[in-house]
Structure 1
Amino acid sequence: MRWIIRTILAILVLGLLAMGALLSIPAERIADVAADRLQRATERPVRITGGIRPTLVPYLGVRVEGLEIGNPDWVSDGPMLQAEALNVGVNWQALIAGRIQLDQASLDAPRLVLVRAADGRESWSFGGADASPAPASNGSEAAPAAQSSGGVLATLGFDAAVLRDATVLYRDLGAGTTTVVEALDLTLRLPEAGGAARAEASAIVNGSALTVDASTDGIGDLLAREVQPVRLALEWDGGTLSFDGRAGLDPAADGRFQLEARDLGPLMAALGQVAPTLPEGLGRDRIDVAGDVTLASEGSVHLRAGDIRLDDHRFTADLDLLPGAERPMLRGVIRGGDVDLSAMTAAGNAPGGGRSGATGGADSGWPRDRIDVSGLFAADMDLAVTLDALDLGLASLDGLDLRARLDRGRLVLDLRRIGAYGGALSGSVVVNGRGGLSTRADLAFRGVALGPLLAQLADYDRLEGRGDIALNVLAVGNDMDALMRSLDGGGSVTLGQGAILGFDLAGMIRNFDPSYRGEGQRTVYDSLTGSFTIAGGVLRNEDLVLAAPWGRVTGAGRTDIGAQTVEYRVIPGVLQGADGTGGFAVPILITGPWSDLSFRPDLAFIAEQELAEERARLEAAARERLAAEREELERRLRDQAGDALGVEIEEGQSREEIEDALEQRLREQAEEQLRRLLE
């Protein structure tokens, strides 16, 4: 508000000039002199189109009509100030005592145009030297010329300086921003020259209604760029902001800060920004911040002993906000208690609970609303976060200790010491908004309790046990439907001893109903293992095994996560031996959409199994017959070869032994024939 104070002070000087010659100079002459002196002081063209006339009641004063003060020639938006009228009044008692003391000065319906050039020049910085006093036309000296802001305030006090129904246009050509202030009512009170001052204002800024109440113990020193005690209260439709401490114009500040906001939209609009879309539980309905704040001269902001409330969640924080070339950097430590963010995942949590797909029926499929990731680019971040507990709807964590790093739209959560379902969770989660949305989760659960985990993740409370779960998945897409259809990765489950609650396997097979519960049943198992792969949003598992003293259950199939459908076969084997033989097994086929699964005996699979068993039996019998026939043929050949060569070939002899025997027999026969020829 420094430019408003400077403008008011310049106009106060104009009023003093006019009053100094009020009783002895004609109105037209007063107008000419006042305009000339103000023009010399500001180095700007000044016009008074309506003349100057005195007022006697309710105070001794002067009324200047049609005031206009020009802008530098590089500003194309019009004069710096246009006002219907300026009213300046002095205190009668002070005047009788021989001194001039302002009661009130006001501008009616002024229009202010303030421009900051790309090179840093400011249209409201007059830059001229103080004008020296000039004699009035009657030979007496006129009132003092305009002084600098600090100098005027050191010698001038007034009950109230008022702007009524003002309009302000502020352009920053370097930043390319425009701020429009309308219906501005401002009252500045300075009872003692250079001393305590108070400003009260209300206005509509960029379409948002604001009220401001600011005060300082030494306005003169503050405008002289010294640090002074300052109190500020800002209110808008949806919240309040206050500061109580010390501040200067460099800028620099140090004091107690408090923010209470139900709606940040009007405040952000007044600042020329778009309010971020915050999720429920993280400030959507309420943001309260209190703490000790330091604003350093280089532009960094530091919060210590911060008390932050986001909706119903409370945190303590020590934070630093540092300026950056592209975006600010937030770093520090945040500590909190129990945090419930389950509402963030409630819309897409239940099967079929999302928005209708393009080809699906009503209330089916994943939501296809585009996920806004623009908030990832608002600032960079490096935060250490500790929480007592965190409920994400799809998962519950306790003893949370993580580090969150956000760099140019890419958020990385390093999960360090985190408790989960009676065990521990470690790993990382990446959310990348660069060039669209992609996310990766690489998580490892160790020693988790299966019951609470499945109850929350799948609304299934039938299994007990502890073990390990590993998950590594990647998803790419700009909405939940695209993310689910692009899932890629895999994982595994390894559980130790546990129990199946309310489980009646025979009744389940008989009724083909997995929700069937027997009276007081509790069936133990020794282990449960399985692994899965995910490609194109389709999860495949081929090795699910549940081993128990009563038998074993195997499973294999696929789940299309994107389409929310299942095609899975479970084979409960009851009273089987350790080698999987004996007992009986009835395969159950689970198919259909998640919202309406179908369970039926897999008769085709049974037939295929029987056919495969018959084929195996026939193949075994055929192999047995072929082996017997081959053995018989080999026996006959041996006998024939033995008779022909006179060699006894015994069963079981190897080929080499037979060949050696035949070679020995041929050698003997050759020697016998040679002996006969020689005889």
Structure 2
Amino acid sequence: MRWIIRSIVGVMILALVGVSTLFVVPTERIATLATDRIAEATGREVVVTGDVRPTLWPHLGIRAEGLRVGNPDWVEAGPLIAAERLDVGVNWSALFSGQIQLERAELIGPEIVLQRGADGRVSWDFSAGEIADAAEAQVAADEAAGEGGLPAIGFERAVISDGRLRWIDEGAGQDITIAGLDAELSVPGGEARATLSGSANVNGADLAIEAAVDGLAGLIAGEVRGAVLALDWDGGEAGFDGRVSTAPALAGDVTLDARELGPILALAGTAAPDLPQGLGRDRIRATGRVTLTNEGTAHLRSGQITLDDNTLYAELDITQGADRPMVRGAISGGRLSLPGMGGADAAGGGGGDTAAGWPTDRIDVSGLFATDAELSLALGALDLGGAVLEPVESNITLTRGRLVFDIARIGSYGGRLAGQFVVNGRGGLSVGGDLLLADVQLNPLLTDFADWDRLEGSGSASLEFLGVGNDLATIMDGLEGRGDLAFGAGAIRGFDLAGMVRNLDTSYQGEGQRTVYDRVTAEFTIADGILENEDLFLDAPWGEVRGAGSVDLGAQTLDYRVIPGVMRDAEGVAGVQVPVLISGPWSSPRIRPDLEYLAQQELEEQRERLEAEARARLEEEADRLEEEARTRANEALGLDIQDGDGREEIEAQVQERVNEEIENQLLRIFGGSPDEEQAEEVVE
């Protein structure tokens, strides 16, 4: 029983001591000291708008209702800090000895506003505070700062509980609010390391931060200081280890490992993009040395970026242009795998398709205006989900929304691809190119890109094209261009064209089910989405094939006639020719003998034959009449006009005969007489 009484008495004594302590706590002096310290640290007006009461638990000190720390006059969004209350803790032993030593300050429910102006001013620049006179400001700062140049706040720990932070960047057009902010800041004096730990909620995602600076006083004074930073969120982590200044400028090693970028991008006021597989859809990891200068330029060296299972290496420089940033540098890598971005499935897939093919979804090219760029790209291989290009060397230029790929060399199916491809977002979307495909293997190429595996051999082609429209269907419907193709020896698998012609049966397959050829050539033009060709020529040991017709690229239909010719004669001319009409959708075309064309050709041949016979009869009649006229002239005039004599020769004979007659008549008039033979000839 005795120990129970002693315990009760002890508790009562402690309670009396605690209660008596409340009466000796100098609340006004502590409040004034705390607000003065904050004012000295920030150079801003600090006021307490509510009651000030002493506290015993959890810390001996005071509780001040309503704290307000001002922002510069040019900030209109509100004060720097507007807190529900400020709790200040003091040292027990120092208090009983008559001294006030501040140990802890906690802001409850603060609203914090940080703002960067369009002219580059920042609201957290505490270098001169609100003092107008520069000399007076310097003296005040030196007296408050000590060696480090930072006014000594005097708290071993500063705590924020359940705060809200609003970040406004007028230059970037950003206005971001962070809720649920809990943080603890330790700011020892001098060169000692200041630390910060905290957590917050950004757009529904929780973030945690750990940071440290070697001498916060020097950092705020404009010096360069060592710093480390670690960010953690549900879906990733990021870190920095290097040197920073408030210019702003920094240089150090950066790491990133993210499965979800949304929370971090939300801090920059940007939504997370819908990245494709192979470009960071599932995971992004990055390391490198980053430098940010006070001129606003950024530089990446020894950058290694892993996007899903792809690894790229980058050396990049970002400078500020008049309208947008400029990115220059080089990107390289081994094999870049982008499944689903190439091949036949990618060409015709996607929502919003028309009944027969091309997607009608609007293509968003607004991202082309985010930056300008001059980049070189070198890859060991580019895998587009079945279509493999290796190696890849290209220069990429992006200027005011116009993206140009200058293809120096792309290895493609045993051959190469070169030329230029352009995507222009100015005034709407347009695409164009001037491409050359040389000596490629046709079977794997057409299998990957058109899902058609019947053509064997190698070939080359060239293409110039231009398409305008905000969706793929519109672009294909109005495509303009021209090109040509030339295939070497090969074969068409699946049918025997020569056998079809010989047997007059389009269902004929043949034993080998192959149509062998020596070469194929053609030229074509494209206008309003219609490809026209008039000179397809396939040369083969068994004969030849000539073709002409059109392909509607927008509607994905074709109307084409091929005329196979087989059974060459001694002079190499194909004897049996049966035209075949290919029409309908190119996914399932209809192939049939062109009987109408055959009838037209027969009528044409008959017309030409009749015209030839008529011409022959006319020529024969003309020859007869000419011979009759010639005979009569010879008999009447005593001439000797022969078949084949020209006009000059006939005129010469007539002139000679006239001269003789004139001479005979003159002799007769002047008394002379020709000999008897001449007279007889004249009489006759």
TM class, shorter-chain normalised?
0.7 to 0.9
When structure 1 is superposed on structure 2, of 343-352 and 458-467 the one drifting more is 343-352
Does residue 443 (structure 1) correspond to residue 428 (structure 2)? The answer is no
**1:596 aligned counterpart, secondary structure:** coil
| CA separation of 1:333 and 1:127: change in aligned 2, threshold 3 A | closer
The residue number in structure 2 matching 1:138 is none
Cα drift, residue 537 of structure 1: 0.9
The structure 1 residue matched to 2:394, chosen from 380, 392, 402, is 402
When structure 1 is superposed on structure 2, of 175-184 and 314-323 the one drifting more is 175-184
Cα drift, residue 190 of structure 1: 4.5
Query: 2:144 & 2:453 partners in 1: Cα distance?
Result: 81
> Does structure 2 retain, via aligned residues, the 8 Å contact 1:255–1:292?
yes
The structure 2 residue matched to 1:531, chosen from 512, 523, 526, is 523
TM-score (norm 2): 0.84
Does residue 281 (structure 1) correspond to residue 278 (structure 2)? The answer is yes
TM-score (norm 1): 0.85
How far does the alpha carbon of each residue in 1:473-519 deviate from its partner, in whole angstroms, 9 at most, with x for none? Answer: 11111110111112111111122333344542245458999897544
Query: 2:497 & 2:377 partners in 1: Cα distance?
Result: 46
Query: 1:285 & 1:208 partners in 2: Cα distance?
Result: 18
Aligned residue pairs, count: 642
Does residue 55 (structure 1) correspond to residue 55 (structure 2)? The answer is yes
The residue number in structure 2 matching 1:212 is 209
Query: 2:191 & 2:23 partners in 1: Cα distance?
Result: 29
> Does structure 2 retain, via aligned residues, the 8 Å contact 1:41–1:146?
no
Does residue 271 (structure 1) correspond to residue 263 (structure 2)? The answer is no
| CA separation of 1:663 and 1:567: change in aligned 2, threshold 3 A | same
Query: 1:583 & 1:644 partners in 2: Cα distance?
Result: 55
> Does structure 2 retain, via aligned residues, the 8 Å contact 1:287–1:308?
yes
Query: 2:146 & 2:77 partners in 1: Cα distance?
Result: 25
Query: 2:485 & 2:171 partners in 1: Cα distance?
Result: 59
The residue number in structure 1 matching 2:606 is 614
| CA separation of 1:80 and 1:223: change in aligned 2, threshold 3 A | closer
What pairs up with 1:57-456 in 2 under 5 angstroms?
57-92=57-92, 103-125=103-125, 147-148=144-145, 160-173=157-170, 176-190=173-187, 194-205=191-202, 209-276=206-273, 278-341=275-338, 343-345=340-342, 349=346, 355-357=352-354, 363-392=355-384, 396-456=388-448
> Does structure 2 retain, via aligned residues, the 8 Å contact 1:528–1:546?
yes
| CA separation of 1:519 and 1:286: change in aligned 2, threshold 3 A | farther
Cα drift, residue 100 of structure 1: 6.9
When structure 1 is superposed on structure 2, of 506-515 and 388-397 the one drifting more is 506-515
The residue number in structure 2 matching 1:559 is 551
Give unpaired runs (5+ residues) of structure 2.
1-20, 132-140, 672-684
Does residue 659 (structure 1) correspond to residue 633 (structure 2)? The answer is no
Cα drift, residue 440 of structure 1: 1.3
Amino acid at match of 1:212: I
How far does the alpha carbon of each residue in 1:34-86 deviate from its partner, in whole angstroms, 9 at most, with x for none? Answer: 66786688665543233322223343222222222344455444433222221
How far does the alpha carbon of each residue in 1:300-337 deviate from its partner, in whole angstroms, 9 at most, with x for none? Answer: 22222211122332211111122223211111111122
Q: In angstroms, what is the RMSD of aligned CA positions?
A: 3.4
**2:602 aligned counterpart, secondary structure:** helix
**2:340 aligned counterpart, secondary structure:** helix
Cα drift, residue 108 of structure 1: 0.6
**2:359 aligned counterpart, secondary structure:** coil
**1:435 aligned counterpart, secondary structure:** coil
**1:355 aligned counterpart, secondary structure:** coil
Query: 1:214 & 1:578 partners in 2: Cα distance?
Result: 91
When structure 1 is superposed on structure 2, of 429-438 and 304-313 the one drifting more is 304-313
Query: 2:33 & 2:89 partners in 1: Cα distance?
Result: 19
The residue number in structure 2 matching 1:13 is none
What pairs up with 1:541-552 in 2 under 5 angstroms?
541-552=533-544
Query: 2:570 & 2:216 partners in 1: Cα distance?
Result: 92
Cα drift, residue 652 of structure 1: 2.1
Query: 2:117 & 2:408 partners in 1: Cα distance?
Result: 50
How far does the alpha carbon of each residue in 1:188-241 deviate from its partner, in whole angstroms, 9 at most, with x for none? Answer: 234676412321222234666433221234333333333333221223454332
Does residue 636 (structure 1) correspond to residue 628 (structure 2)? The answer is yes
Cα drift, residue 460 of structure 1: 2.8
Query: 1:32 & 1:577 partners in 2: Cα distance?
Result: 116
| CA separation of 1:644 and 1:293: change in aligned 2, threshold 3 A | same
> Does structure 2 retain, via aligned residues, the 8 Å contact 1:277–1:375?
no
When structure 1 is superposed on structure 2, of 514-523 and 285-294 the one drifting more is 514-523
The residue number in structure 2 matching 1:479 is 471
> Does structure 2 retain, via aligned residues, the 8 Å contact 1:587–1:601?
yes
> Does structure 1 retain, via aligned residues, the 8 Å contact 2:145–2:152?
no
Give unpaired runs (5+ residues) of structure 1.
1-20, 132-143, 358-362
Amino acid at match of 2:242: G
